[in-house]
Chain A
Amino acid sequence: MIGVALKMLMGDRVKYLGLVLGIGFATLLMTQQTSIFIGLLTWGANPVLDVREAQVWVMDPRVRQADQGQPISDQALYRIRSIDGVDWAVPYYRGTATLKSLDGALSAVTLIGVDNQSLIGLPPENRAAAAAAIRGRNAVVVDSNTAFLIFPDKRDPVGQVAEINDNRVIITGMTKALTTFAGLPIAYMKYTDAISITPPERNKLSFVLATPRPGVSAQELADRITAATGLKALTREQFARAGVDFIINNTGIPLSFGIAIGLGVVVAIVITALTLAMFITENLKNFGALKAIGVTNGQILAMVTSQALLVGLIGYGIGIGGTAAFIAGGRNDPSLAGFNLLWQVVAGSALVVFAIVVASAFFSVRRVLKMDPAIVFRG
């Protein structure tokens, strides 16, 4: 009877298309919004994840995430280097500056100062070329993803002369950083150059990046540093997670995305349950006739469930395909960079859609299962 059920469903094109498109739209809403949400959260962790060499980040105890700079004393660097278990420790500057191009355009930039010798802090992608380019005095390497925010006319930034905080700099190379939540263009300089062009203040060291010797875990080293200096020391994973938590706890993003995702679920439930219920109601006499003829309740349940599963499968495919197309289409758009369709989202949304269509099928078919087949003889 499954074949009969599917022909019954597909023959009613309006309801069939309504169900498929409704579930497709709901799936698109759920998976696309979830992917964007997860992508945005990842942006909170990216400033930390982009510095792959550092296993431990040391900072002022009040700092909650990477873009919230509270400088610490330069002496901290030397004290940390003297702690047993430290393989290496380097300074890292991260702050906001104003970049002015020669034609007078102003851009707020995230200015990052990386260790002069090791250049730890430069993104791994295109690192060799960026390392060569950053060596010169007042040389700046910019992030290729966000350079268009500095030069909207999309000219080649390399070779451009500019000013940062009224200091002359020259853009000598490009790198590719992970997208951050702040969304500002990113400019890399050597640590000493960066702190020399930033406004005067007592301390300028934003973070100390460290890595433990073999045999010492990152957590162990972080604990030792905190004990010895009184500074906050977090492992790479902990600090990346702190960036995500900061977004969750301090923005309305989880609520607004939660509402959108919830709406997707509601749309799926409403469309599926109502349309299936309408389909059943309109065919109630026919189902009564089928029951009279000798179609069992189990067969009717299988019929309605197969109808629901088919529309669920096709609708889900359309929705997940739409999300995949959206993400693939945004690959080269910096504002959508870092968004991915995770397998967890694919599997989770499939489970939600499956649960909705099966529950809707059971809900809709209850009347038929309870129906007396003799109803078909009554007016």
Chain B
Amino acid sequence: MEFPNGAERLRVLHGVDLRVDYGKITFLVGPSGSGKTTMLSILSGTLSPTAGEVDVLGERLDTMSSSALVKFRRRRIGFIFQQYNLIGTLTAAENAAIPLIADGVAMDVATAKAAVLLAELGLSDHVAKYPRQLSGGQQQRVAIARALVHEPALIVCDEPTAALDAEAGRAVMGLLESAARSPDRAVLVVTHDDRIYPFADRIVRIEDGRIAGEGAPVPERVHP
């Protein structure tokens, strides 16, 4: 994967081959600038590689048209961002319902489904609240609901606990861990936050655009 850098082109990823298993949480870790975010962007279909093949959930993203790529992301990928990226003027339920609404589901139907999911995530009293009325942890839970509401096969998380304190981070990871325990769903987490390493089933380390190795799950890993 290359990016323009002045007159030259900067190679960010070099022949990376990454496998993410269903039913597992895979962590992608590494120093800043190592290519983690680029990797995540390519795997989620938000960025196209300049070379190589990208096979995600049985589909070749590198040869997909842009409209097919948008549809692929909408139906098969769930996104969790570092800063939650909730829309401040929509309620928690409306925010969580966006993937369904974007796919043509009526707003009231989508919002009702999202409200049920929010209740399962412990936010039953907060479905009608706006993001500014929620704590950081609660906002990230709304973001998790948004990532799950359309039942995607792959959930990609970009530093999901970076803006949270330790307790809220653990709670969020607990929910993600539950979401990952499905035979037809995989969770990929990019993180710098070593406090949450115990939640990983597999940790892949990336350095200078190359996979530098796989770390075993930390000993204190506790499976449900």
A residues in contact (CB < 8 Å) with B: 1, 3-4, 7-12, 283, 285-286, 288-296, 299, 372-374, 376-378
Contacts and interface: CB of A to CB of B under 8 A. Distances in A.
Contacts of A373: 46-47, 73
A214 B41 CA distance: 85
A373 B73 CA distance: 11
A114 B101 CA distance: 75
A217 B158 CA distance: 84
A278 B159 CA distance: 28
Contacts of A1: 101-102
A374 B47 contact: yes
A12 B81 contact: no
B75 interface: yes
Given A286-B87, A292-B46, A294-B70, A377 B98 contact: no
B35 to A, nearest CB: 12
Interface of B: 37, 40-41, 44, 46-47, 67, 70-75, 77, 79, 81, 83, 85-90, 94, 98-99, 101-103, 107, 130, 146, 158
A296 B71 CA distance: 8
Contact of B73 (A12, A285, A292): A292
Nearest to A285: B85
A7 B89 CA distance: 7
Contact of A289 (B44, B47, B79, B89): B79
B90 A377 contact: no
Contacts, number: 87
Contacts of B41: 374, 377
Contact of B89 (A10, A292, A296, A372): A10
Contact of B74 (A11, A293, A372, A377): A293
Given A294-B99, A299-B102, A8 B73 contact: no
Given A11-B89, A374-B41, A377-B40, A4 B74 contact: no
A11 B99 contact: no
B148 to A, nearest CB: 12
From A3, A4, A9, A10, name the one whose CB has the most chain B CB atoms within 10 angstroms: A4
Contact of A296 (B47, B67, B88, B107): B67
A289 B80 CA distance: 9
B101 A294 contact: no
A252 to B, nearest CB: 48
A4 B85 contact: no
A4 B71 contact: no
Contacts of B103: 294
